[in-house]
Amino acid sequence: MVNKITVVGAGNVGATTAQRVAEKELARTVVMVDVVEGIPQGKGLDQWQSAPIEGFDSRIVGTNGYDETSDSDIVIITAGIARKPGMSRDDLLNTNANIVKQVAENIKKSSPNAILIIVSNPLDVMCYVAKQVSGFPRERVLGMAGVLDTARYRAFLAEALDVSVRDIQAMVLGGHGDTMVPLISYTSVSGIPITQLIDKAKLDAIVDRTRSGGAEIVKHLKTGSAYYAPSAGAVQMAEAIVNDQRRILPCAAWLDGEYGMKGLFLGVPCKLGRKGLEQVIEVQLTSDERAALEKSAEAVREPMKSVKL
């Protein structure tokens, strides 16, 4: 347990994240910040009143400012507008870049030693904005994308095979978008290569569904986007950091030569511990996987050029 974790944004993703953080007792105090007056206060009070039932002692508070967030150990940024049907993650670029910029400026002042976990979309570019504005080292700025994309991939595989999700080992790398790269060569079921259990056509269909997993949910909801799985992914990362678990999770990390790339955030296997990013794990890729990863990197670099800081 750390002293304080702040969640910026009290919408569906932020509020669900705050509740999960509290229920796991990752921090003594969980602060939820939002610009809309009354929303974080009301949701925070409601969540705190669930504590006697759920059995957690983490205190949840809501606020519209950053004074209460001072000296946070971890800040999870979910603020931004949500996708609507027909919108791509890149359609959110300029609006959410300005929001994340303001958040990063405030966090830099109030919690200069915090570790940032970015959830706002378009994810990889928002990580870039947060890092540039905060000036934090790469070890303390991470993006939640690969954990979510991998969870979707694993869920679809478990459904297709009618097996437990616990037995699916997999990893999705690359940008958080249509060019993400599920690593088929590292996908297995209790150690059995996935290619021995599912034919290529069905596996290709699952990969495609994974890439459009968020859009599929947006299409159903019509007025919002996913939040249960994204919040779970962010909290899994926070838990690995708080408890110094040294877990290897696919996260958006600032590359500095790894995989032959530098100067951008991209989903790669990361070892997470108490200091944040402890190591980027470089795995051997097939020629097709490497080509796909490089294509995904280009898809991240392009919108980065449009961001004005």
Helix (H) or strand (E) holding 154: helix 146-161
Written as six digits, the tokens of 2 are 């750390």
- CB-CB contact of 70 with 109 (8 Å): no
Cα-Cα-Cα-Cα torsion 269, 229, 98, 240, nearest 10 degrees, comes to -40
The 8-class DSSP code of residue 55 comes to T
- Tell me how far apart the alpha carbons of residues 30 and 102 are, in angstroms, rounded to a whole number: 21
DSSP notation for 180-240? -EE-GGG-EETTEEGGGTS-HHHHHHHHHHHHTHHHHHHHHHSS----HHHHHHHHHHHHH
* Residues with Cβ within 8 Å of residue 48, at least 6 apart in sequence: 59, 60, 61
Residues in the chain: 309
The count of other CB atoms within 10 Å of the CB of residue 186 is: 19
- For the beta sheet containing 188-189, the strands, ordered from the edge strand earlier in sequence to the opposite edge, are 168-169, 188-189, 192-193
Active site residues: 176
